[in-house]
Structure formats: C-alpha cells, structure tokens
C-alpha cells in the first residue's frame, strides 16, 4: 500500500536559502538556491547536515555531472520528490544507492574509496551543462531529486568541471556549505 509522505510545512514568507558549492583545490565556487517549495524534505535534510563534501568524481554515464559520495546524513532517506532523469545546467541532485549498485569495477572506484563498505551511499551532484540523461548500463533509469538550482557562478564552475574532466579529479573535493 502506498502512503503519501507527510511533507514539512513550507512557509511562503520564509527567506530563501542559499548554499555555496565549491571545487576546493581549484578555488572555484557557485551559489545555489534551495528549492524548498519543490523538494522540502530533501532540502531540510541537506541544510541540516551542512557542510558536506568529499572526493569529487566526474560522471561517466550521465555526462555533464560532478558529484561526491557520502554516508547517509538524513534521519530517513527522502522520498523521490521533484524527480528528474533529464537534469538541466545548474541542477543540484540527490541520489541514494546501495553498496552493491556502486560495487562493479566499471564505475572506477578504487577499493579504498571512502564509500566502500557502506550499506547506503548518498550522491550529491551538480549538473553543469546540457544534454544529460540519467540512464545507467547496469541499472537502467536512475531518477534523482532536484533540490537546488545554481543562481550565480555556473559559468566559472562549468569551466572548472571541464578542467576536472580533462585534467583529472585526483586530490579535488566537492563541498556544499551554507552561503
């Protein structure tokens, strides 16, 4: 039986919330607005856990995406609110995976990767360019929760993401913090 989750009350008079998303080694950041009206449970979970960050990865399948893999931080994993399989430039997405979903060698995660051995892995992602499609050869469609949207600095971040793709991600971290 499907039960509709009880959503937190969103006060329309509430001040908008903003975060900074940064590639720390490269010294580049952008500002994103939380989409409290569309993904309130996810926004609250992320906001309450900030700052968050870790090793950055560039997507192999989804295309123009950078992300970090984290231990679960929400009291309960958010429901699939404001879902997409076609993120647009500036979207911040939240994904939850089991350890076996990210366990194959095809993903390129070394055995020492921080997320190895966790039953649940949270993926916080930034999409920086067009033409993304969330489909995976092992699992099929992978819908994500769109919980934020970049409102300033996407051009600088996109340039840094392209550099990350070409020069490599080793030693770089992706951090989310309150602005």
The secondary structure of the chain as a DSSP string is ---PPPPPP--TTSPP-EEEEEETTTTEEEEEEE-TTT-HHHHHHHHHH-SEEEEEEE-SSSSSEEEEEE---SSSPPP--SEESS--TTEEEEEEEETTTT-SGGG---TT-TTTT-SEEEEEEEE-SS----EETTTEE--EEEEEEEEE-HHHHHHHHHHHHHH--TT-EEEEEE-
Alpha-carbon distance 68 to 54, whole Å?
6
Token pair listed for 157: 């971040």
pLDDT digit string, tens, across residues 97-143: 887 776 665 555 555 555 556 778 999 999 999 999 998 877 789 99
CB contact at 8 A, 146 and 90? no
How many other C-beta atoms are found inside a 10 Å radius of the C-beta of residue 27?
A: 8
- Look at the block and give the residue holding tokens 């090793």: 55
pLDDT digit string, tens, across residues 26-61: 999 999 999 999 999 999 999 999 999 999 999 987
pTM of the model: 0.87
CB contact at 8 A, 61 and 135? yes
Is the bond preceding 51 in cis, omega lying within 30 degrees of 0? yes
Phi first, then psi, for residue 38 (nearest 5°) are -110, -30
pLDDT digit string, tens, across residues 1-25: 444 444 444 454 569 999 999 999 9
């Amino acid at each position: 039986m499907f039960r509709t989750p009880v959503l937190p009350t969103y006060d329309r008079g509430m001040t908008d919330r903003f975060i900074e998303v940064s590639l720390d080694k490269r010294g580049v950041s952008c500002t994103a607005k939380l989409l409290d009206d569309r993904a309130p449970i996810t926004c609250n979970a992320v906001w309450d856990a900030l700052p968050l960050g870790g090793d950055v990865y560039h997507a192999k399948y989804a295309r123009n995406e950078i992300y970090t893999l984290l231990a679960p931080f929400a009291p309960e994993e958010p429901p699939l609110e404001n879902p997409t399989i076609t993120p647009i430039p500036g979207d911040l997405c939240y994904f939850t995976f089991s350890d076996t979903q990210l366990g194959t060698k095809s993903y390129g995660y070394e055995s020492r990767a921080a997320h190895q051995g966790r039953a649940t892995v949270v993926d916080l992602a930034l999409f920086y360019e067009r033409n993304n499609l969330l489909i995976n050869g092992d699992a099929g469609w992978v819908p994500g929760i769109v919980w934020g949207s970049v409102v300033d600095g996407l051009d600088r971040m996109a340039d840094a993401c392209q550099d990350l793709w070409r020069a490599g991600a080793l030693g770089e971290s992706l951090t989310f913090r309150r602005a």
